Amino acid sequence: MNAMDVPADKPVAKAERAAVPARAWISWVALALMTTSSVASLRPSPTMAVYGLACVFLYIVPAIVFLLPTSLVSAELASGYDGGVYNWVARGISKPMGFLAVWCQFAMTIFYYPSLLGFVASTLAYVFDPELASSGPYTACVIVVVYWTGVWVSSRGTKGVAGLASGGLIIGTLIPGAVLVILGIAFLGQGNQSAAPMNADHLLPAWAGLSSLVLIVNNFLSYSGMEMNAVHVGSLRNPGKEFPRAIFMAMGLVLLIFILPALAISWVVPADQLSLTAGVMQAFDAVFAEFGTQWLTPIFGIMLVTASLGGMLTWLAGPSKGLLLISRQEGYLPPFLQRLNKNGVQQNILVTQGIVTTVIALGYALIPNVSSAYWIFSVITTQVYLIMYLLMFVAAVQLRRKDPDHPRGYKAPMLIGLCGVGFTASLAALLVGFIPPSQFESGNGGVYFIIVAGGALGLGLLVPFLFYRLRKPSWKLPEDEVEAGEAEAGSA
């Protein structure tokens, strides 16, 4: 993701883009597939499956008001300014706001890992004992063990993690997703009744106040990360025409990967029995049992776990490396968190992050319902990330106004309108996230609000504010040490 990039002020001029050698060009179809692979996942499918046919509506709306604006706006920023979101926001608003933006890219992962590994724990339970999927202590133990194993792997500077993540997409997302949909159709074809109504009366979610729409917030996280793919806009021969094509093709593919498995799950597993963490495996278990192939359930569980672990290792090093490089240049973090180990890896940041993640993981042991814990951590993750997007949309408008003649390889159409829609949608999703969803079981609304607000606002705003206010001139490293550290980190 772009947080890994080193902040720089060098624009990507058209002449430079034209000088790209022929072998470096990529087609818009290839970019569409790259975007699809980095966004699509089966993990959010159970969350939307509780809505049945209405999940189609709940996926398409955020795709239009969030995914599309984010994609086009970040493409303009990436084609004109190096350095990722820090440089975009620092130039468009201010350096402190740039630090807040890159901090949120990093901080969202603190709650992202417990939710991701909660899914891993529930999926892995179907390999050994499905009853464990609803066990909080078991889930907490898996999160702690797997996360610290990932820290150990990352701190050794192991290469080839990206290859593991790419292989995980095919093994743990595309193949299981296709099998689930095909078997779901065969399940209905044998005369079985769908667990969720599939008629026109259920195209829209039942309205029970704002709480009935809260689950849509999770879809913003499902679509996040588009700024990562925007950096490739300069590798297209004709970005103005080809990038929109790539984005619309990717949107179509992503929607298919999100919607069809969610529908398949809703056909097989009743909403009131669906686990937000183990829902995918519940569906596989049910359809395999229907066709007498239940022995495949553990195999598909391992496939799903492979994809999730590959993604975790990719995310583990990326955002923290971006935060490290920016902090070494500007002195935002204390020296202890800026140190590299012998392999050129930001081990102290990873370990500190791991301690916080371990404490958060205990939430699975303390919150009676594993699905409720999973949902809370997912919401906090989304809200922290949305702070970064709010800043990005404001910075894009400011840069277009302050620096309209700056060379840009791609100019988003109706930029101010796109930013207005994206900003409004992001802000609405952030605010709605404080409301417990209608499916949130036996939860105290006040306690829910305190946990979510404390996690999102405390981690997303208070902590970076304290780092910024308490910073000292000695935290900023000399330029030669920064360059040496960048070279060392880059070789890891």
Q: Do 102 and 86 touch, CB atoms closer than 8 A?
A: yes
Rounded CA-CA distance 492/488 in Å is 7
Instruction: Specify the pLDDT at position 264.
Output: 92
Instruction: Specify the pLDDT at position 15.
Output: 42
Rounded CA-CA distance 102/96 in Å is 10
% residues pLDDT > 90 (the chain): 19
Q: What torsion do the CA atoms of 109, 114, 119, 120 make, to the nearest 10 degrees?
A: 90
CATH T-level assignment (fold) for domain 28-230+239-472: Amino acid/polyamine transporter I (1.20.1740)
**At residue 158, does pLDDT exceed 80?**
no
pLDDT tens profile 34-82 = 777 777 788 888 878 888 898 898 889 888 999 889 988 988 888 888 7
Mean pLDDT of the chain: 81
Query: Of 231, 318, 315, 333, which Cα lies nearest the Cα of 492?
Result: 318
Rounded CA-CA distance 463/237 in Å is 43
pLDDT tens profile 425-446 = 999 888 888 887 665 555 567 7
Q: Do 456 and 433 touch, CB atoms closer than 8 A?
A: yes
Instruction: Specify the pLDDT at position 88.
Output: 92
Instruction: Specify the pLDDT at position 4.
Output: 39
Query: Of 176, 164, 205, which Cα lies nearest the Cα of 41?
Result: 176
Lowest mean pLDDT among 52-56, 81-85, 197-201, 444-448: 444-448
One-letter amino acid for residue 278 of the chain: A
Rounded CA-CA distance 43/115 in Å is 10
Rounded CA-CA distance 275/277 in Å is 5
Rounded CA-CA distance 59/91 in Å is 33
Query: Of 99, 130, 141, which Cα lies nearest the Cα of 3?
Result: 99
Cβ contacts of residue 265 below 8 Å, gap of 6+? 45, 46, 49, 180, 184, 274, 279, 280, 282, 283
pLDDT tens profile 215-265 = 566 677 778 777 766 667 777 888 878 888 888 888 888 889 899 999 999
Instruction: Specify the pLDDT at position 100.
Output: 94
pTM of the entire predicted model? 0.80
